[in-house]
Structure 1
Amino acid sequence: MAEQFKHFYTFLQEKKFCDITLVSDEGLEIQAHKIILASASSVFYTMFTAPFKESKENDIVIKKMDSKVLQAIVKFAYTSTVDIKERYVEKLWLAADFYDLCYIKESCSEYIKENINPTNCVSFMKTSDLISDKEIYAFCWSYFLKNFTMVVNSDLALKEICEFPIDYVLKFIKHDDLVINNEEKIFDFIICWISHNTYERSHLLSNLMKHLRLHLISEEGLQRICNEPLVRSNIDILMDLKKEMANTKPLYTLGRNTEPNIIFAINGHTNGRDYCIKYMDTRSEDNLEWKTSNHLVFCPPRKDTIMVVTENGFMLSIGGTDESGNDVNLVDELDLKSTSKQWVPTTPLNKPRTFFEVCTHKQYIYVVGGFNSSGRCFSNSVEYYDTNSKVWTEIAEPMPTARCRCSAIISNNQLYVFGGANENYLATVECYDIGKKYWKQLDPMPISNSRMAITRILNVIYLIGGYKALRRVLKFDLQHFNWDEMPNMHSGTYDGTSSVVIGDKDLFVFVNDYGTLQRERYDAEAKQWQLVDKTGEPSQGFGRNIIALNDFTLKSYGIHL
């Protein structure tokens, strides 16, 4: 049979036994065979058999299809092969969708994945949205967010983005995963987008400026923004900018989602006898070792405190114990942008708690769950601290499940809470919509676990180690809300862990176990973990915080290694 089918393409080339002529928009005529076209495409089958005028005609004009695309589709019908070129891949993709040619669609999708770049990604994204290809749209959207700086530097792509409606522009400029090396470039894009149609868009400036992260912009950068004519004519925006100038500012304008590459292991506290800070600079693979840092200001003021850094440059020390060993709800704050760089007391937690989880979102710090030692009960309370107003606010609707030692992270205005413990270890997963202010339950974890390290890479949350599964690593897909598992780690962890991504593929886990420092690397190609190093000796009562920062961010705060 295979030998017989080889003759069909020869018949096409020699125009033998043809019973239909397809005509492109440009007038190209291709003589073919109805039975071959109908067997390849359900649309051609319907066209030739249903009571349409095409079923009675020998010449059919294929509308909105140029010659190259028509030739590619006809050739595919006879040979099951397709030759894709960038100059017509989107037209071929659209035609394949319309004519129900699944193999060509899949081939176009693979071509796009392999050949996407800053110039074509916007066009690919628009086309995938047009044909409702959710997988490729998500792929292009992710690429767009991650490479926004290069995309807006492409004249062709920028022209297409400037055609976007306001809702679409708002969608990406406020997106948590937007990667930009300089926040002022967001402002420059806003002005460019408005200038594309000033008459109809100038009134939208205030709405767009709400999503500019002013705390990332230097004083010099804010002054440049104030001098923009569109801004000067808006008193409300000018007042907000002047108010922001009164805050301590970074020396240089920062970006969003800059990859952390300096890891600090902070042990002890300033009221103790033994305390030290070590750091690892991960930028050089040839010199990965822990070094002693003289930035002792990072040492927190109390024992057993939880440390966290916000996007706007504040380090907080939350909770811990006093000199008598009693749990406290005290909070201290260190403004990394200030010249003095001193810990100062700030507003304490609304509710006393220990064994709580902490996560950050922009200038906010969220404290989730915990255990109330005075009331001897587990907490379902969530409160957040605004580093601008210095006020703690409790979320009105309590978390459905009271718990301590859980893991939490925020992505796209959603607070995700995993596992933990109350009377039992938990597999429960709950999500709070910060904007709409309600909780919902998600599918539980595959195992009950607590004290897991947590991080997120794009649409995947990683849960690492934990008290009940030291070496296991779980993956939670935020797009499809399903679970997967990675190979087991070598040593694992259940406390004092920070997880960061170094490079495009590898996941690094840094552990500070009361002074013992270790680092494991997941090799994505080999699909296995490697114990890279382990150093130090554990010290009873020693602190165990790890903070991950970016080298440029440190320089903008006036901190030099």
Structure 2
Amino acid sequence: KHLMTFLLNSQTEQHFADVVLSEEFLNLGIEQVCSLISSDKLTISSEEKVFEAVIAWVNHDKDVRQEFMARLMEHVRLPLLPREYLVQRVEEEVLVKNSSACKDYLIEAMKYHLLPTEQRILMKSVRTRLRTPMNLPKLMVVVGGQAPKAIRSVECYDFKEERWHQVAELPSRRCRAGMVYMAGLVFAVGGFNGSLRVRTVDSYDPVKDQWSSVANMRDRRSTLGAAVLNGLLYAVGGFDGSTGLSSVEAYNIKSNEWFHVAPMNTRRSSVGVGVVGGLLYAVGGYDGASRQCLSTVECYNATANEWTYIAEMSTRRSGAGVGVLNNLLYAVGGHDGPLVRKSVEVYDPTSNTWRQVADMNMCRRNAGVCAVNGLLYVVGGDDGSCNLASVEYYNPTTDKWTVVSSCMSTGRSYAGVTVIDKPL
């Protein structure tokens, strides 16, 4: 009964990811499930959540419910899913294989991916339309960093209130770590504690305002890149105290285990990473061998477990901030030897090309980057002599950078930065 009333309000749509894990969801009737998953207002990180919810609901009472598959799949926006996921997961799902209507929806999605972008617009269907959830309030979390030594401080920026506040400190000092937001938790991966490169990983629960430890990585890494791809947390490259690393490992949150995957073609410390279209990109860095900062970029395909070089940047960048906005990959600042950059370039995977956009207001390297509400934020970093407390954001519509009026309490470079949902 509780969820029935719950379903009539926007709370369910905003908390879809949690609702679908509940017993009550699995006991809903077909009409209620259809009305929920057809809503434009669902707040989800990706359409995968809707597909997995449908499969879970049907499997809960398979003999009775599998006849509803076609009705349910009508509301799953398969064209919005990465093609890797369509091939690996959707096509392999027995419930999809057993329904010709479901296979038609899969073909529609594949066709969508085969078309050039300008022709996709002509495929008008409810399944190609983006969901437009109510914007849940967001916070930017800035974790640790160098100021000038490694620090424990964690600050949060509230975009709505436009102000900073302190939250629970790290269990130990940490800078040059990788940072991601996954499964409602913030992960601080590896880094440097002021004397040693570490393998440890801490996770922060924003609801409890509390840090705890999870499994150690296989390798010590600082100045690594960290990103989430297909539900796994990847730690890419970095520096172990003596040499730059090409090795890459992935963390499975369910089993709390790390395992190695294919290494990169190049050793990369001070590397920036980002995920676009189901591929993981490793941008620039420093290889330690040629004593040169790198302009090369490579991308990882998890299905094939292999790294491939893509188009190079126009400039060498080590310690560049890397972020993803509107399916484009941004490389922000960084340095080439002693020269710290304020220039920014952006990569479009559909054309495999880099182009220059407007310069930042300040030269920055080792800054944190994140995207929120259609803007790209760059946080702190250093200009070659000073650690910066300032934040600026890029608006792709105007091609302009704007400095945020409110600064962090501490100037910091090599901090970890990510965006989270504000705990309610």
Tell me which interval the TM-score lies in, with the shorter structure as reference length: 0.5 to 0.7
- CA 153–355 in structure 1, closer or farther in 2 if over 3 Å, else same: closer
Q: Where does residue 399 of structure 2 map in the other structure?
A: 527
Aligned partners of 2:370 and 2:418 also within 8 Å: no
For residues 369-414 of structure 1, the C-alpha deviation after alignment (integer angstroms, 9 at most, x for no partner) is 12232xx32211000111111111101x321111211111223331
Q: Where does residue 365 of structure 2 map in the other structure?
A: 494
| Aligned equivalents of 1:460, 1:268: Cα separation in 2 | 27
Aligned runs of 1:359-398 on 2, under 5 Å? Answer: 359-361=227-229, 363-373=231-241, 376-395=242-261, 397-398=262-263
Q: Where does residue 544 of structure 1 map in the other structure?
A: 415
Aligned partners of 1:498 and 1:548 also within 8 Å: no
For residues 409-430 of structure 1, the C-alpha deviation after alignment (integer angstroms, 9 at most, x for no partner) is 2233312111111221111111
Does residue 302 (structure 1) correspond to residue 156 (structure 2)? The answer is no
One-letter amino acid matched to 1:432: Y
| Aligned equivalents of 2:411, 2:192: Cα separation in 1 | 17
Aligned runs of 1:59-98 on 2, under 5 Å? Answer: none
CA-CA distance at 1:351 after TM superposition: 1.7
Does residue 327 (structure 1) correspond to residue 213 (structure 2)? The answer is no
Aligned runs of 1:210-249 on 2, under 5 Å? Answer: none
More helix, by proportion: 1
Q: Structure 1 residue aligned with 2:284, among 415, 419, 432?
A: 419
- CA 322–440 in structure 1, closer or farther in 2 if over 3 Å, else same: closer
Aligned with 2:53: secondary structure?
helix
CA-CA distance at 1:368 after TM superposition: 0.8
- CA 256–334 in structure 1, closer or farther in 2 if over 3 Å, else same: farther
Q: Structure 2 residue aligned with 1:318, among 182, 189, 194?
A: 189
- CA 316–186 in structure 1, closer or farther in 2 if over 3 Å, else same: closer
Quote the sequence identity (%): 20
Does residue 473 (structure 1) correspond to residue 344 (structure 2)? The answer is yes
One-letter amino acid matched to 2:164: K
Aligned with 1:372: secondary structure?
coil
TM-score (norm 2): 0.62
For residues 33-83 of structure 1, the C-alpha deviation after alignment (integer angstroms, 9 at most, x for no partner) is xxxxxxxxxxxxxxxxxxxxxxxxxxxxxxxxxxxxxxxxxxxxxxxxxxx
| Aligned equivalents of 1:410, 1:527: Cα separation in 2 | 22
- CA 415–321 in structure 1, closer or farther in 2 if over 3 Å, else same: closer
| Aligned equivalents of 1:510, 1:454: Cα separation in 2 | 11
Aligned runs of 1:2-41 on 2, under 5 Å? Answer: none
| Aligned equivalents of 1:386, 1:492: Cα separation in 2 | 37
Q: Where does residue 279 of structure 1 map in the other structure?
A: 156
Aligned partners of 1:265 and 1:512 also within 8 Å: no
Structure 2 portions without partners, runs of 5+: 1-34, 77-94, 96-131
CA-CA distance at 1:264 after TM superposition: 2.6
Aligned partners of 2:273 and 2:322 also within 8 Å: yes
Q: Structure 1 residue aligned with 2:165, among 270, 288, 292?
A: 292
Higher relative contact order structure (alpha carbons within 8 Å, sequence separation ≥ 6): 2
Aligned runs of 1:172-211 on 2, under 5 Å? Answer: 178=46, 183=49, 187=53, 199=67
Aligned runs of 1:145-160 on 2, under 5 Å? Answer: 152-153=38-39
- CA 493–257 in structure 1, closer or farther in 2 if over 3 Å, else same: farther
Indicate the structure (1 or 2) with the bigger Cα radius of gyration: 1
| Aligned equivalents of 1:321, 1:343: Cα separation in 2 | 18
- CA 464–441 in structure 1, closer or farther in 2 if over 3 Å, else same: same
Aligned with 1:533: secondary structure?
coil
| Aligned equivalents of 1:520, 1:350: Cα separation in 2 | 35
Aligned partners of 2:246 and 2:268 also within 8 Å: yes
| Aligned equivalents of 1:256, 1:432: Cα separation in 2 | 30
- CA 460–330 in structure 1, closer or farther in 2 if over 3 Å, else same: same
TM-score (norm 1): 0.48
Aligned with 1:187: secondary structure?
helix
Does residue 401 (structure 1) correspond to residue 271 (structure 2)? The answer is no
For residues 62-120 of structure 1, the C-alpha deviation after alignment (integer angstroms, 9 at most, x for no partner) is xxxxxxxxxxxxxxxxxxxxxxxxxxxxxxxxxxxxxxxxxxxxxxxxxxxxxxxxxxx
CA-CA distance at 1:486 after TM superposition: 0.6
Aligned partners of 1:516 and 1:537 also within 8 Å: no
Does residue 357 (structure 1) correspond to residue 216 (structure 2)? The answer is no
Aligned partners of 1:177 and 1:458 also within 8 Å: no
Aligned partners of 1:413 and 1:435 also within 8 Å: no
Q: Structure 2 residue aligned with 1:263, among 140, 147, 151?
A: 140
One-letter amino acid matched to 2:310: L
CA-CA distance at 1:460 after TM superposition: 1.0
More strand, by proportion: 2
How many residues are treated as equivalent by the alignment?
A: 318
Aligned with 2:304: secondary structure?
coil
CA-CA distance at 1:306 after TM superposition: 1.9
Structure 1 portions without partners, runs of 5+: 1-148, 155-175, 209-229, 231-254, 556-561
